[in-house]
Amino acid sequence: MASSPKLNSRIPEGQLENKWTKYRSTVHLVNPANKRSLEVIVVGTGLAGASAAATLAEMGYKVKAFCFQDSARRAHSIAAQGGVNAAKNYQNDGDSVYRLFYDTIKGGDYRAREANVHRLAEVSGNIIDQCVAQGVPFAREYGGTLSNRSFGGTQVQRTFYAAGQTGQQLLLGAYSALQRQVGMGAVKMYARHEMMDIVNIDGKCRGIIARNLVTGKLERHFGHAVLLCTGGYGNVFFLSTNAMGSNVTAAWKAHKKGAFFGNPCYTQIHPTCIPVSGDHQSKLTLMSESLRNDGRIWVPKKKDDPRKANDIPEDERDYYLERRYPAFGNLVPRDVASRAAKERCDAGYGVGASKMAVYLDFAANTERYGKIEANKLGLQNPSKDEIIRLGKEVVKEKYGNLFDMYKQITGEDPYEVPMRIYPAVHYTMGGLWVDYNLMTTVPGLYALGEANFSDHGANRLGASALMQGLADGYFVIPYTIGDYLSEEIRTKAIPTDHEAFVKAEAEVQERISKLISNKGTKSVDYFHKRLGKIMWDKCGMARNKEGLTSAITEIQKLREEFWKDVRVPGDANEFNPELEKAHRVADFLELGELMCKDALHRNESCGGHFREEYQTPDGEALRDDNNFAYVAAWEYKGESNFELHKEELKFENIKLAQRNYA
């Protein structure tokens, strides 16, 4: 298989471990005087966007940063709980850049680019150094060194963390760097602004149309380059662990103006989320993967067991992950753990009122910690109650905020009874196709972080999203953007009365008017929920040809209905959250179709993409490397019309193998 001529991945020549070092040392530079006249637009201020905006401004570029929230600090990276990976080998447990690279490629079920992943592993250590220098308060040992914990899909401890709020602390670090540049005037910040479209001039991306969400006014902004750091599109499912505002609009608009969309069907369903409690539910809440360090997952051995969890004796419990995957146990990758939970629930062993949940139980480890503490304190024959009390204190220190959140949402105390959990949509590995420089197929338009497709293949390992967002923003784009901008030093700022800006703004205005004047009978949420149900039922944890085929037709019909019958109250020229939602859902209604088409064309199972027709006798994902070892990059050709381009994935350093965690 040869890659499509339209896709030049620009992977540097040479040995894998030297590619980045050599490239970084030879990529074109822009001299400081020229940087001052080059303008860069950064859309989104999560880990990727805030780190990129701050770093580019430090380097001397003129930066404009945009976010739809009321402050850059609120981007959804803030909600990441468990941690950030780095190949520091501080635990002396055999970690290395190669091992992190290998785990990530394998965890992604051999559907990621070797060169990108190796670069990610190489810069991972710098991320920790940078964050500590900024004052990010990571967890520490008594000796003052940094602490680590385990995450799924690895056998080393390489995850750095700050209680269950690692994303918050890393984002506040990046946000502080960003605010420092704002204070110095090097970044102009546009909060409560939503990107509505990109503007291309002579084949290059030259700016954006943004809507001021407070006044409703449309604005034109020029940039020599535009960086989309706009996160993932999990909200296409309506219910997900994403924030309510997380959306695909920026990426989708870019897609419709020439940026190819890579592997849209690769969705991560996270195994440990609080189950749905009713149809009023607006979002789902994750319980960090780090809990699987100390929690054991089980269901009763008996079908439809009516007993309470604590009344079921040890030998009547099925610790199915430990049974099926003894080598990794509860720490198998997310896709494997999610499917295993679904399998047990579908077979009738689920727990809770809905029977669509499994237990995540901390009792055994609470007792183990209690004993360790009792030993430390030199207690002679401590009572069981005393041990449990001491153990709970340890658990509280490690996961206190998560346990509180669980109790707040469910009304049950996880210190006393096991948590009930079920898989939920969490992350999207797919995204805009980018080359080694993180540039999309539109020159001058880049995608960073979750918004691109590049590093996680068909399944992301835990604690790798924070790593990738910060790697892209702090350590990759600041170098790779020079390759493009060094050719742009003679390009003067293009006035925004240029016809391309005028035309793009008019198109946006037309769509807004259409939504506002539609005056249908159904709310935006009504359509969003219906779309979500189609996607979850037919393009969710398990997919098949029949379901996907019907989903495509259903989505097309739903989209038609949306444009006929949606009701958007209020005015275009004011703060109007319903109008914001309507825009986003209109784009989800187009994206959903492409996701189903991508899932339908990929006649194999890999990572988070599980096609029921393609599985091993044990129910594991069955890849087809001869026919599908490629990135599917879709080109937009008009409504419901997408052309497939393939980028061959070459594995020169890792041997393709059936993933084995048993």
Binding residues for other proteins restricted to 638-657, rule: CB under 8 A: none
**Whose Cβ is closer to other proteins: residue 3's or residue 134's?**
134
Contact 192, 212 (CB under 8 A): yes
**By rule CB under 8 A, what string of x and - marks binding of each residue 147-166 to other proteins?**
---------------xx-x-
Nearer to other proteins, 404 or 488 (CB): 404
| CB of 189 or CB of 621, closer to other proteins | 189
From the list 112-120, 272-280, 372-380, 530-538, the region that binds other proteins by CB under 8 A is: 272-280
Rounded to whole angstroms, the Cα distance separating 560 from 394 reads 55
Pairing of the two strands 62-66 and 187-190: parallel
Q: Which residues contact 68 (CB under 8 A, 6 or more apart)?
A: 192, 193, 194, 213, 245, 580
For the CB of residue 523, give the shortest distance to other proteins in the complex, in Å: 5
Q: Which of 152, 232, 245, 423 binds other proteins (CB under 8 A)?
A: 245
Query: CA angle at residue 518 from 516 to 522, to 5 degrees?
Result: 100
Among 281-289, 356-364, 549-557, 624-632, the segment contacting other proteins (CB under 8 A): 281-289
Judged by CB, which is closer to other proteins: 87, or 112? 87
| Residue 140 found at the interface with other proteins (CB under 8 A) | yes
Q: Which of 177, 542, 586, 632 binds other proteins (CB under 8 A)?
A: 177
At closest approach, how far in Å is the CB of 410 from other proteins?
8
The least CB distance from residue 602 to other proteins, in Å, is 32
End-to-end C-alpha distance for the chain, whole angstroms: 32
Q: How far is the CB of 57 from other proteins (least distance, A)?
A: 10
Please give the structure tokens belonging to residue 400: 């206190």
The 3-state DSSP class for residue 360 equals strand
Burial call 551-561: b when 16+ CB within 10 Å, e when fewer: bbebbbebbeb
- Give the span between the Cα atoms of 21 and 118, in whole angstroms: 11
* CA dihedral (247, 250, 253, 254) positive or negative: negative
217 binds other proteins (CB under 8 A): no
Q: Does 214 bind other proteins (CB under 8 A)?
A: yes
Encoded amino acid at 627, one letter: N
Using the minimum distance from each CB to other proteins, give the nearer residue, 183 or 306.
Answer: 183
- Using CA atoms, how far apart are residues 564 and 524, in angstroms rounded to an integer? 12
Positions in 298-327 near other proteins (CB under 8 A)? none
What distance in Å separates the CA atoms of residue 226 and residue 482, rounded to the nearest whole number? 13
CB of 529 to other proteins, least distance (A): 9
Q: Is 305 left (phi over 0), alpha (psi -120 to 50) or beta?
A: beta
- Which range binds other proteins by CB under 8 A, 239-247, 332-340, 376-384, 614-622? 239-247
For other proteins, which residue of 145, 380, 381, 641 counts as binding (CB under 8 A)?
145
Q: CB 481 → other proteins: shortest distance, Å? A: 13
From 170-178, 194-202, 629-637, 649-657, give the range in contact with other proteins by CB under 8 A: 170-178
CA dihedral 530, 532, 533, 537 (to 10 degrees): 150
Can residue 586 be called a binding residue for other proteins (CB under 8 A)? no
Question: Closest distance between other proteins and the C-beta of residue 202, in Å?
Answer: 32
Number of residues that bind other proteins (CB under 8 A): 84
- Reference 460, options 44, 111, 206; nearest CA is 111
Q: Rounded to the nearest whole angstrom, what is the least distance from the CB of residue 525 to other proteins in the complex?
A: 6
Q: Which range touches other proteins (CB under 8 A), out of 53-61, 198-206, 381-389, 641-649?
A: 53-61
Q: Which amino acid is at 547?
A: G
Collect contacts of 546-554 with beta carbons under 8 A, ≥24 apart.
548/596, 548/597, 548/599, 548/600, 549/600, 551/592, 551/596, 552/593, 552/596, 552/597, 552/600
Q: Assess 20 for contact with other proteins (CB under 8 A).
A: no
288 binds other proteins (CB under 8 A): no
CB of residue 619 vs other proteins: minimum separation in angstroms? Answer: 32
Out of 26, 71, 310, 375, point to the residue binding other proteins (CB under 8 A).
Answer: 71
Cβ proximity to other proteins, 101 vs 175, nearer residue:
175
Q: Which one, 238 or 630, has the nearer CB to other proteins? A: 238
Whether 181 and 187 have beta carbons less than 8 Å apart is answered as yes
Report in angstroms the alpha-carbon separations of 324 from 309, 327, 618.
Answer: 21, 9, 10
C-alpha count within 13 angstroms, C-beta hemisphere, residue 305 = 23
Per CB under 8 A, does 129 bind other proteins? yes
Taking phi first (over 0 means left), then psi (-120 to 50 degrees means alpha), and beta for anything else, what does residue 355 get? Answer: left
Assess 578 for contact with other proteins (CB under 8 A).
yes
Least Cβ distance, residue 656 to other proteins (angstroms): 35
The reply to whether 281 sits near other proteins by the rule CB under 8 A is yes
Nearer to other proteins, 408 or 641 (CB): 408
- State which of residues 5, 32, 94, 183 lies at the interface with other proteins (CB under 8 A): 183
Q: Binding to other proteins by residue 353, rule CB under 8 A?
A: no
Q: Per CB under 8 A, which region of 143-151, 256-264, 320-328, 648-656 contacts other proteins?
A: 143-151
* Distance from chain centroid for Cα 356: 24
Q: Which is closer to other proteins, CB of 571 or CB of 648? A: 571
| Residue from 111, 220, 334, 344 carrying the catalytic annotation | 334
- 515 to 574, contacts with other proteins by CB under 8 A? 521, 523, 525-526, 567, 569-570, 574
What beta strand segments (E) does 499-651 contain? 630-636, 642-648
Tell me the H-state helices in 60-198.
Answer: 97-107, 114-134, 166-183
For other proteins, which residue of 14, 141, 545, 640 counts as binding (CB under 8 A)? 141
Are 443 and 204 spatial neighbours (Cβ–Cβ below 8 Å)?
A: yes
List 40, 63, 172, 390, residue binding other proteins (CB under 8 A): 172
Nearer to other proteins, 203 or 570 (CB): 570
- Kindly calculate the radius of gyration of the chain based on its CA atoms and give it in whole angstroms: 24
Subset of 91-110 contacting other proteins (CB under 8 A): none
- The verdict on whether 24 is a catalytic residue reads no
DSSP character at residue 241: S
And the tokens for 278?
A: 């009713």
When the beta carbons of 180 and 371 are compared against other proteins, the nearer one is 180
Question: How long, in residues, is the chain?
Answer: 662
The least distance separating other proteins from the CB of residue 44, rounded to whole angstroms, comes to 13
The closest alpha carbon to 511, from 563, 549, 556, belongs to: 563
Distance in Å, CB of 426 to other proteins, minimum: 12
CA angle 43, 44, 50 (to 5 degrees): 105
Q: Give the residue ranges of DSSP H helices in 378-458.
A: 384-410
CB-wise, 2 or 133, nearer to other proteins?
133
Query: What does the alpha-carbon distance between residue 478 and residue 437 come to, in Å, rounded to a whole number?
Result: 10
Q: Report if residue 413 touches other proteins, rule: CB under 8 A.
A: no
Q: Which residues are catalytic?
A: 334
